[in-house]
């Protein structure tokens, strides 16, 4: 068994090294690994089951997630949570939705920016997106986890860099038929849906739509300032899902 895992891990590392976008695939692998070994996946017997598992999940999210009410108290540990929360996800749907978006839009954005630049961009915008949500909900005791803020920034940069790239969308009101539209149609529509949802969101646990909007705005603004109008490039077609599921 150990030998099989070693061979699989070695093959994965070699494949990542050969690709032109290793950061995107490494982020996906890291998020998946963190989820699988944590209590949210429900796969590890270490955390027990039933109420014991729910208690472990709650404690896990509070330890590694962003709690707005604690973030501005001056604790060094709390100040790190907008970074650690980027690698923690609350459910299988949450994880798979985010990783699908990162897979679709991350590779082209990383290839355009470069590995180091993309890494700093992803981490910085993700941190600021969660921080923006925390500022707007400073009294909240709910823990916030997920990579959606960073991935939304990738979407914003993608829209600026590849506005004419055609992406495949699954529209529920058209029976999930796969239709291809330019990014400048799909992504602004996604933003509009996030805006409407953010206006209807309550104070309880759920999707942090505001973090999506902050991340998207940061990503688009950064690409605009960094690359300027003269550096836009035409992109090959990309495939995109309908939308995200969690923060």
CA gap 64, 83 in Å, rounded: 9
Q: What is the DSSP letter of 25?
A: H
Report if residue 245 sits inside a domain. no
Local structure of residue 3 (DSSP, 8 states): H
Residue 128 sits in a domain of what CATH number?
Answer: 1.20.1540.10
Domain residue limits at 14: 2-239
Q: Is residue 55 part of a domain?
A: yes
Q: Residue 130 pLDDT more than 70?
A: yes
The reported pLDDT for the residue numbered 112 is 94
Residue 148 has pLDDT above 50, yes or no: yes
The pLDDT of residue 175 is above 90: no
Residue 151 vs residues 81, 130, 155, 174, 230: alpha-carbon distances, Å: 17, 12, 6, 26, 25
Q: Which of 10-14, 98-102, 179-183 has the highest mean pLDDT?
A: 98-102
Residue from 99, 82, 79 nearest 33 by CA: 99
The answer to whether position 141 is within a domain reads yes
CB 148, CB 122: distance < 8 Å:
no
The neighbour count for residue 219, using CB atoms within 10 Å, is 30
Is this model's pTM higher than 0.85 or not? no
- Residue 20's Cα: distance from chain center in Å? 20
pLDDT at 15: 42
Annotated catalytic, 148?
yes
What is the spatial order of strands in the sheet that 166-171 belongs to? 177-182, 166-171, 238-239
- The closest of 124, 139, 137 to 221, measured between CA atoms, is 124
Specify the pLDDT at position 194.
84
Of 140, 143, 148, 152, catalytic: 148
Give a yes or no: residue 192 inside a domain. Answer: yes
CB 88 within 8 A of CB 145: yes
The answer to the question of residue 114 being in a domain is yes
Residues near 185 by beta carbon (within 8 Å), at least 6 away in sequence: none
Burial 40-73 (b: 16+ CB within 10 A, else e): bbeeeeebeeeeebeebbeebbbebbbbbebbee
pLDDT for the residue 173: 38
Whether the pLDDT of residue 99 is over 90: the answer is yes
Helices and strands (DSSP H and E) totals, the chain: 10, 3
CB 241 within 8 A of CB 101: yes
In a domain, 244, yes or no: no
Instruction: Give the pLDDT band (50/70/90) at residue 92.
Output: very high
247 inside domain: no
**Does a structural domain hold residue 246?**
no
| Overall domain count for the chain | 1
Q: Tell the burial category of 20 from Cβ atoms under 10 Å away from its Cβ (0-12, 13-18, 19+).
A: exposed
pLDDT in tens, 9-44: 344 344 444 568 899 999 999 999 999 999 999 898
Q: What would the pLDDT profile of 188-243 be if each residue is shown by its tens digit?
A: 888 888 888 777 655 444 568 899 999 999 999 999 999 886 555 554 444 443 33
Model pLDDT, residue 195? 84
- As a whole number, mean pLDDT of residues 72-98 equals 92
Strand 166-171, strand 238-239: pairing: parallel
């Amino acid at each position: 068994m150990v030998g099989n895992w070693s061979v699989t891990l070695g093959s994965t590392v070699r494949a990542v090294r050969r690709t032109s976008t290793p950061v995107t695939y490494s982020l996906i692998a890291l998020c998946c690994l963190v989820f699988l070994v944590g209590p949210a996946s429900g796969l590890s017997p270490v955390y027990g089951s039933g109420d014991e598992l729910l208690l472990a999940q709650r404690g896990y999210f509070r330890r590694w997630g962003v709690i707005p009410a604690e973030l501005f108290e001056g604790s060094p540990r709390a100040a790190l949570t907008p970074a650690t929360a980027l690698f923690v996800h609350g459910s299988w749907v949450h994880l798979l939705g985010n990783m699908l978006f990162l897979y679709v839009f991350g590779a082209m954005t990383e290839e355009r920016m470069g590995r180091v630049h993309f890494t700093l961009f992803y981490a910085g915008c993700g941190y600021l997106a969660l921080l923006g949500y925390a500022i707007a909900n400073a009294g909240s005791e709910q823990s916030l986890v997920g990579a959606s803020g960073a991935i939304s920034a990738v979407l914003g940069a993608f829209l600026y860099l590849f506005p004419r790239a055609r992406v495949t969308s699954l529209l529920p009101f058209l029976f999930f038929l796969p239709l291809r539209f330019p990014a400048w149609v799909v992504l602004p529509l996604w933003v509009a849906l996030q805006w409407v949802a953010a206006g209807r969101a309550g104070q309880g646990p759920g999707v942090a739509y505001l973090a999506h909007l902050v991340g998207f705005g940061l990503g688009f603004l950064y690409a605009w300032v960094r690359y300027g109008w003269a550096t836009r490039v035409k992109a090959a077609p990309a495939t995109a899902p309908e939308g995200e599921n969690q923060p």
